[in-house]
Structures are given as C-alpha cells and as structure tokens.
Amino acid sequence: MSLPDLGAEFMQLSIQSPAVALRNILDGVKARQGSITRHPLGFYSSILSEHSGQSIRLHLWSDNATWALPQFEIHDHAFDLVSIVLYGRVRDSRYDVHLTRTETRHQFYDVQYDEGVTTLKPTLQYVSCTPGIKQDISSGSTYRVPAGVFHSSCATDHTCAATLVHTRQVGAISPRVIGPAHDPREIKYFRRSALDDSSRSALLEEFSLLLD
C-alpha cells in the first residue's frame, strides 16, 4: 500500500483561491471538531494531516493571541517548511547566526518536546546573531524556510493572518532557539494546551467573518 503524499494534498489545497481554501479548511476543522492549540510564538495551530515525518497545518494569528514569556522568537526547524498565506500578511525575518569563540549576548537553546511541554535547554554555545533578509508575504503568496535556517514570523502590524503550512522532517536534527547568553535556566512552555470548545468556536467564527 502506498503512503499518503502530503505534499500533493498541500498542493491541492493551495491551488484554490486563498479565501476559498481558508473557508474550506475552517469548515473542515469545525465539522470534525479538530484540536486547535496555542503556540508559544503567538499564533494558534491546528494539524490537518500528519504522516511519516510530514504534516499539514493551519496557523492563525488573531488579535487576542499572546506570546509565551520569555519571548524567544528567533528559531530554526528540524523540517523543511513551505507556507502559503491565505489571509492578511506575514512578515518573515531571517537571521545570520554563527558560533563564536568568545562570549556574546546570545546562546543556543536546544528544544526538547515532551508530552504537553516544550523545554528550552541552554547550551552555553555562544553565537552571533545579526538580522538578514526581511520580507512581507501577502495573501496568495508562498514562502519557504529550509531546515536549520534561523527566522521569525509574525502577522504584520499585529493584524489577523492565516497560513497553510506543509512540513517535511529532515534527518534527526534538533531544533534550536536563540536566547540570552547568561541565563542558566531551563524554560518550559505548556505548548499543547488545546482551546476549549467555546474558544475554538469563537476563533473559527472570527476568521469566518473576516471572509464575509
């Protein structure tokens, strides 16, 4: 039996107009009462499909979404990521990150995922971190973030935005974030706290109304 090709499923969704694709996805999440979780990086996430190191996800930036504290926004991924903006605009910022021989203001934190908890572990590996390319991506446009590339993403001007995301795991690399150099603490985020029925319905209705 052949394995499902989530890349093909992603392409099938993305060839629709952004508004049509988003409405169909919202209706699907509502119909199956799909789980929506708060992400530490200030958006909501719902996994639409997941198989063999791949996933398709819906990301929603809402007016009432909040960042987890402390706010470590610069990160990389253990997967290749392709994202199409379905509503609003998303700002993707890249960073040039390099290990240094001397102490700096920043260090790598290793990211460890456990059931319900994301733990950031300081490594004392000092790095330089300088801003690189920054781009604003409008509805209907696509951007890509290869595994291991440091970036941050947010909705522009603190407005609402929605993206459809395809991820594909690359080897056994571990994701990292950039944080302060002289903080020895491990930091824990309760990543998988799902919205209750009322909050999920309100969020889906918020984005449905934006399409009317």
pLDDT at 192 > cutoff 90: no
Q: What is the largest CA-CA distance in the chain?
A: 55
Q: Which residue has the tokens 């060839």?
A: 15
Q: In the chain, what percentage of residues exceed pLDDT 70?
A: 96
- The predicted model scores a pTM of 0.90
The average pLDDT across 159-184 equals 90
Please tell me the predicted confidence (pLDDT) of residue 209: 95
Tell me the average pLDDT of the chain: 89
Whether residue 70 has a cis bond before it, omega within 30° of 0: yes
Assign residue 85 a region: left if phi > 0, alpha if psi is -120 to 50, beta otherwise? beta
Cα(177)–Cα(135) distance, integer angstroms: 20
pLDDT at 153 > cutoff 90: yes
Query: How would residue 11 be classed by pLDDT, with cut points 50, 70 and 90?
Result: confident
Query: How would residue 12 be classed by pLDDT, with cut points 50, 70 and 90?
Result: confident
State the CB neighbour count (10 A cutoff) for residue 97. 19
Cα(121)–Cα(71) distance, integer angstroms: 15
Q: Which residue has the tokens 């499909």?
A: 49
The average pLDDT across 146-159 equals 92
Give the chain's domains with CATH numbers: 6-211 (2.60.120.10)
Cα(37)–Cα(162) distance, integer angstroms: 14
Cα(29)–Cα(199) distance, integer angstroms: 13
Cα(72)–Cα(50) distance, integer angstroms: 26
Please tell me the predicted confidence (pLDDT) of residue 2: 41
